[in-house]
Amino acid sequence: MKLISKESKTKFILKGFFEENKPKNKNILISLNSITEYVEKNEAFICLGSKKSYNLNILKDAINKIVKLNTRNFQIDAKTFVGNNINLENVVNKFIDIDEYINGENLYSAKTSKKPEKIYLELIVNDKEVISKANITLKIAHLVNEARRLQATPPNICNSEWLAKEIQTMFKDIKNPNLKVKVLNKKEIEKEKMGLFLSVNKGSAYEARLVVVEYNGNPKSKEKIALIGKGITFDSGGYNLKPSQHIQGMKYDMSGAAICAAAMKGIVELNGKVNVCAILPLTDNKISSKAQTPDSIWTSMSGKTVEVNNTDAEGRLILADAITYSIKKFNPTQIIDVATLTGAIIISLGTTFTGAWSTCDLAYERLLKAANKQDELIWRMPFHEDFLKNIKASNFADYKNTDLSGKGGSISAAMFLKEFTENKKYIHLDIAGTGGDGENPRGTMVKTLIQFALDSKE
Ligand code: BES
Ligand code: ZN
Ligand code: ZN
């Protein structure tokens, strides 16, 4: 997507119109989303329906159609899409968002056929304020694609060691004295006594890695946000092996880590006046003679002990230790984890809403405001002690990692994690349904997390 301030007469121009003020052409199509092209005049028009019923969804449908159909090198006259309660900023943001999502560069591809020549949409905007905001939108859209590139990379390439390096590389060109990035190797993770994290790594051919990013953008503020991202580069289930229909797509189980890394980069690049750290535990969950078996009992970094009654509930194991690490090293005021944690959340909220838990109403409001602003869907889920009963019912350890009752599996997973948060303000985001849309990685919540951090009031 390119922003231009003036149209060039030699290129096709596309304008939106409402039924009430249709261009004076006899043979123009007046049905929602239909495009009429006047080739000899280098002009095209898309019908946006009636002025009264115009809304964000109609705008999004129109943009999707234009972006997918763009074989013409359209220049788009942004102001002609303004109407009802949709202003120029909304129009420009949505065009950027959708075009970058569909045509964005650097998405993973191993196709050997030659790529079709890239066609850039050009958007005509001549409002300075809107343009400067649009540049932020463009930056954030690129970061969503950075997360999506990592998500899409196949697991025979994207193992824990590769992913740690890749995330480190993402930050390497940023010269900001308030930014620190380090990667802990297996020995260093052992030194921190992260027994739960290490238990998942036992069956792996690759070493576990813990990526730690710290950014202090506001030394005067006491607020410190810790972003914790689940980084399972492939989830086979371990000895509780996943059946064929559920194992495919498990390369996406590192989405939380990719998303937190991209959000973190956005916060730094946009010079957020806020203190944020990202803790990203990376490993696969595989089987070998060394892999952990069900019934194993481990001591977590916090000292609490956990009986593993299902090796496929591995996300909460690595996250629990990452949460403890964040508390011990950074003493955050707000913990937020992002994880493809449970299949159960797909039963509850489909692939439409991210499940969101919050121990604090005010923090949830801030999150919802950020999500609304960035046009991402979240739905609040409950923390409740009932869902801790089976988790606490181990005869041999402080906890079991899994409630096998089959009731509210996303909530018991959230309750397990909350046990490690030491009463810090805590938000848990389960993106198992929204992180990837079938074949398509979505980079869900990158935009919302950046917005949440930038909205810091302290
Ligand atoms: N990575 C999965 C969750 C998942 C499922 C993500 C489907 C994306 C799509 C997670 O590690 C897992 O296996 N969870 C188990 C938990 C169960 C053992 C309590 C699940 O959801 O089946
Ligand atoms: Zn699993
Ligand atoms: Zn998993």
Model pLDDT, residue 56: 96
Domain boundary assignment for the chain: 2-126, 155-454
Enumerate residues 6+ apart whose C-beta is below 8 A from 305. Answer: 297, 298, 299, 397, 398, 399
> pTM for this structure?
0.97
Residue from 310, 312, 411 to probe ligand 1 pocket by mutation (most atoms less than 8 Å from CB): 312
For 339-394, the pLDDT digits (tens) are 999 999 999 999 999 999 999 999 999 999 999 999 999 999 999 999 999 999 99
Model pLDDT, residue 70: 67
> DSSP letter at 309?
S
**How many residues are there in the chain?**
458
Nearest CA to ligand 1 atom 5: 343
* Alpha-carbon dihedral 331, 336, 338, 339, rounded to 10 degrees: 70
Model pLDDT, residue 119: 75
242 CA from centroid of ligand 2 (Å) = 8
Q: How far apart are the first and last CA of the chain?
A: 35
Residue from 245, 248, 310, 342 to probe ligand 1 pocket by mutation (most atoms less than 8 Å from CB): 342
Model pLDDT, residue 116: 74
Q: DSSP H helical segments within 78-127, as ranges? A: 88-103
Nearest CA to ligand 1 atom 7: 343
Point out the residues of the chain with pLDDT beneath 50: none
φ and ψ at 16, to 5 degrees? -90, 155
User: What homologous superfamily does CATH list for 155-454?
Assistant: Zn peptidases (3.40.630.10)
Q: Return the CATH fold of 2-126.
A: Leucine Aminopeptidase, subunit E; domain 1 (3.40.220)
Enumerate residues 6+ apart whose C-beta is below 8 A from 388. Answer: 412, 415, 416, 419
362 CA from centroid of ligand 3 (Å) = 30
For 52-84, the pLDDT digits (tens) are 999 999 999 999 999 987 667 889 999 999 999
What positions carry a catalytic annotation? 242, 316
Nearest CA to ligand 1 atom 8: 432
Rounded Cα gap, residues 62 and 46, in angstroms: 8
Model pLDDT, residue 435: 96
Cβ–Cβ under 8 Å, residues 401 and 306:
yes
46 CA from centroid of ligand 2 (Å) = 46
Pocket of ligand 1 (CB under 6 A): 235, 253, 310, 312-315, 340-344, 402, 409, 432
Give the nearest ligand 1 atom to 235 CA. 1
314 CA from centroid of ligand 1 (Å) = 8
Model pLDDT, residue 275: 98
